[in-house]
Structure 1
Amino acid sequence: MRLCLAVPGDLSAPTGGYAYAREILAHLPAHGVAATHLALPGGFPAPGPDDLARTAVLLAAVPAGTGLLVDGLAYGALPPDLIRAVGRPVSVLVHHPLGYETGLSPERAAALVASERAVLALADRVVATSRYTARLLAAEFGVDHARIAIAEPGTAPAARVAPRPGPHVRLLAVGTVTPRKGYAVLVQALAALIDLDWSLTIAGSLDRAPACAAALRAQIAASCLRDRITLAGTVTPEALERLYQEADLAVSASLFEGYGMALAEALARGLPLVATTGGAAAETVPAGAGQAVPPGDAPALAASLRALIADPVRRAEAAAASWNAGRRLPDWPDTAAAVAAAMRTSS
């Protein structure tokens, strides 16, 4: 089987969605799928007329007999007429709905939801990256369950992080600095914990939402936490692994996750977690592996962080549960197998 995966922008970008695309492109051949990457313009999810015109030409040029799977970052913003004009079955890979991104105006969010609902009705196959997203697409976007397949992100096995008693507790948050990741809530929570011995490293791009990054720096300074919080920016895979191995506690204040790949990576290393229940994160992090708090609730986040920072025994218990859960996570070959199976059942 031949498959073309169409992804907008730079495939090497350090985000979970692009990592997913890179991994399935690498692993699909082992499942009998000759997969190629089609680079779409980088203007999505807010394409201009030139972006749309170029996209129409690129999609129309995909060879006959090749399956076409379009990343949701582009697909959800395509006009229905453009998809119809392709003249062949088009499938979509959905990480999370575009209109659910934090920081959008109500008008822009509503427009994206309406656009995505219209074009999802035209998709031959919808591949969702979590059970939560699959349910959301069926309930809120009218996608027939029969057209939805689930291919959760893989998590490569990793070395276990041995629990450390402290007293200093190193916190790690992984993810691009954008409003949806809730870093402002995290800093607000940590400002209430200055009596405890902790430090935080945030590993994630500072370039995707510059205004958000600038506001976060200002908030850290105003909270007198510059000597406690490090904004590491984009890091190499090797540097990220070192950060995981040096961490004592993983934390996520995300307001919404389509899956939560960084959470799964923490589980794979046996790190205890404090994470919000926004979107699919509530299902990615199992009970016992740490503390779960409502998204956007800084006092609750502070209380949960205090409970684990101050108690090495509780951290060790959560670490054991995290390690056990991490050993049951799917790996990337499993993800590729699920994508391959979904595309073989498309029209």
Structure 2
Amino acid sequence: MRTLHVVLPAGVDDPASPSGGNRYDRRACERLATLGWQVIEHTVDGDWPRPDTARLAGLAAVLSAVPDGGLILLDGLVACAAPEVVVPASARLRLAVLVHLPLVDEAGDIDLDARERATLRAVAAVIATSEGAARHLAERHGLDRVHVAAPGVDPASLSTGTVTGSRLLCVAAVIPRKAPDVLLSALATLTDLDWRCTFAGALDRDPAYTARVTATAGELGGRVDFAGPLVGADLDARYAGADLLVLPSHAETYGMVVTEALARGIPVLATEVGGVPEALGWARGPSGAIRPGMLVPPGDPAALADTLRRWLTQPETRVNLRAAATARRSTLDGWDATTRSLTAVLDAL
């Protein structure tokens, strides 16, 4: 049996802090185990990715306990900002780093960029979650090759939706990178139309920012609901009643909520950033390929508002995009494809 050590941030299974990266890590570990890997999980506590002495010591202790030549897959949130630990360990261990999001996008801190570069140049393999993210990492850090293991998606039932398309859903933590403020600015110009918007995601990542966002939402007459972090059946129920997923992020390496919506036949309105166009993909329509959603520039509330108005006022647009989203369901890859990609990289090490 092949043995794989996986190093994850503490809280990977915390329902109060759901994230695409956490879901990816959990699915990957589960599927690798079904393929015959002995998966040994280690978690490192701390407010990653910003390192301090205690967090670095915790990571060093985990790596030092692995025998020489051991094969280790590290979550980039834990590893990328810790070159003083990872670089020396790379001399005796076979290390692969899975980068869910570059640190400059994750933390908005350019000082972490050099730390990430030193880490990724030292390890045996770097894995990204989309082709776009792989190109970005390779160019930014001068890497010869970045492998790709795109997230899979679980099968799901079709959403029932509404005739008017008025139920909007944004599944994302309330943080600046996810840009809920941009969406609220767009919605503020659409008060003449019928819509309701639910935000499903953590509210405690940036309390000051969350306070500003919720205060803005309060000016929209009770049309906006902040449901907090949702998982399992609670999140499924929100998807089941949604007409359109809206993802206004400033940066995404993939955007797992995009394919989660498409798996339910829900069209997507998202920003054209990172791997989002890859996740959205294409469906086959009567006259050729068609997007199962709409893309707008990031940080542009006017463009977002114009596209939302088109969705809310044009029944033909809704019908066509719903048909495309339903057609896209059958072309989505499951987690088996993700695991095959990961296994190919790990086997090569």
Give the deviation of 1:272 after TM superposition: 1.4
- 1:152 pairs with 126, 150, 161, which one? 150
Aligned partners of 2:70 and 2:94 also within 8 Å: no
**1:193 and 2:193 aligned:** no
Q: Aligned-pair distance for 1:254?
A: 0.7
Q: State the Cα distance separating 1:211 from its structure 2 match.
A: 1.8
Secondary structure at 1:90 match in 2: strand
1:90 aligns with 2:95: yes
Cα offset for 1:83?
A: 2.6
Cα separation, 2, equivalents of 1:82 and 1:159: 43
What secondary structure, in the 3-state scheme, does the structure 2 residue paired with 1:192 have? coil
1:54 to 58, 74, 85: 58
Corresponding residue of 2:44: 40
Greater Cα offset, 74-83 or 36-45: 74-83
Partner deviation per Cα, 1:135-156 (whole Å, 9 max, x = no partner): 11111111112xx221111101
Match of 1:23 among 8, 24, 27: 27
Partner of 2:128: 128
- Residue in 1 that maps onto 2:105: 100
Q: Which amino acid aligns with 2:43?
A: A
Contact kept, 8 Å, 1:163 with 1:319, in 2: the verdict is no
Question: For residue 319 of structure 1, what is the aligned residue in structure 2?
Answer: 322
For the structure 1 residues 179 and 93, does the alpha-carbon distance in structure 2 shift closer, same or farther, using more than 3 Å as the test?
same
1:273 paired to 2:273: no
> Does 1:69 find its partner at 2:64?
no
Cα deviation for residue 323 of structure 1 reads: 1.9
Say if 1:82 and 1:248 are closer, same or farther in 2 by CA, change over 3 A.
closer
* Letter paired with 1:3: L
Distance 1:126 1:43 in 2: 23
Alpha-carbon distance, 1:235 to partner? 1.5
User: What pairs with 1:107-256 in structure 2 (closer than 5 Å)?
Assistant: 109-145=109-145, 148-162=146-160, 164-166=162-164, 169-221=166-218, 224-256=219-251
What is the TM-score of this pair, normalised by structure 2? 0.92
CA distance in 1, matches of 2:179, 2:336: 31
Say if 1:174 and 1:202, in contact at 8 Å, map to a contact too.
yes
Contact 2:200/2:226 (8 A) holds in 1: yes
RMSD: 1.6
**Structure 1: distance between partners of 2:54 and 2:161:** 53
State the shift of 1:252 in Å.
0.8
Could you tell me whether the CA contact under 8 Å between 1:2 and 1:65 is conserved in 2? no
Give me the whole-angstrom Cα distance separating, in 1, the residues matched to 2:244 and 2:221: 19
Give the deviation of 1:129 after TM superposition.
0.9
Q: For residues 135 and 80 of structure 1, what CA distance do their matches in structure 2 show? A: 25
Shift of 1:214: 1.1
Q: Give 1:319's aligned amino acid.
A: R
CA displacement 1:277-316 (0-9 Å, x = unmatched) = 1221122223521221000000000000110111222112
Aligned residue in 1 for 2:284: none
> Percent identity over the alignment?
38
Q: Which amino acid aligns with 1:93?
A: L
Amino acid in the other structure paired with 1:126: V
Contact 2:200-2:228 at 8 Å conserved across structures: yes
| Cα offset, 1:66, TM superposition | 3.5
Distance 1:129 1:85 in 2: 24
Counterpart of 1:152 in structure 2: which amino acid? A
> Contact 1:33–1:340 (CA<8 Å) still a contact in 2?
no
Any runs of at least 4 consecutive aligned residues in structure 1 with deviations exceeding 3 A, and if so which? Answer: 63-66
Matches of 2:181 and 2:62, distance apart in 1:
40
Contact 2:83 2:116 in 1 (8 A): no
Secondary structure of 2:122's counterpart equals: coil
Contact map agreement 1:31 1:340 (CA 8 A) in 2: no
Q: How far apart, CA to CA, are the structure 2 residues paired with 1:132 and 1:301?
A: 23
* Cα distance, 1:226 vs structure 2: 4.5
Distance in 2, matches of 1:75 and 1:130, equals 19
Q: How big is each residue's C-alpha offset from its partner over 1:98-130, in whole Å with a ceiling of 9 and x where there is no partner?
A: 11236x3xxxx2211111111110010111111
CA distance 1:143–1:226, shift in 2 (3 Å): farther
Cα deviation, residue 231, structure 1: 0.2
Cα distance change, pair 65–101 in 1 and its aligned pair in 2 (3 A): closer
- What SS is found at the alignment partner of 1:27? helix
Distance in 2 between the 1:114 and 1:64 partners?
27
Paired with 2:69 and 2:45, the residues of 1 have a C-alpha distance of: 24
Q: Quick check: 1:8 aligned with 2:9?
A: yes
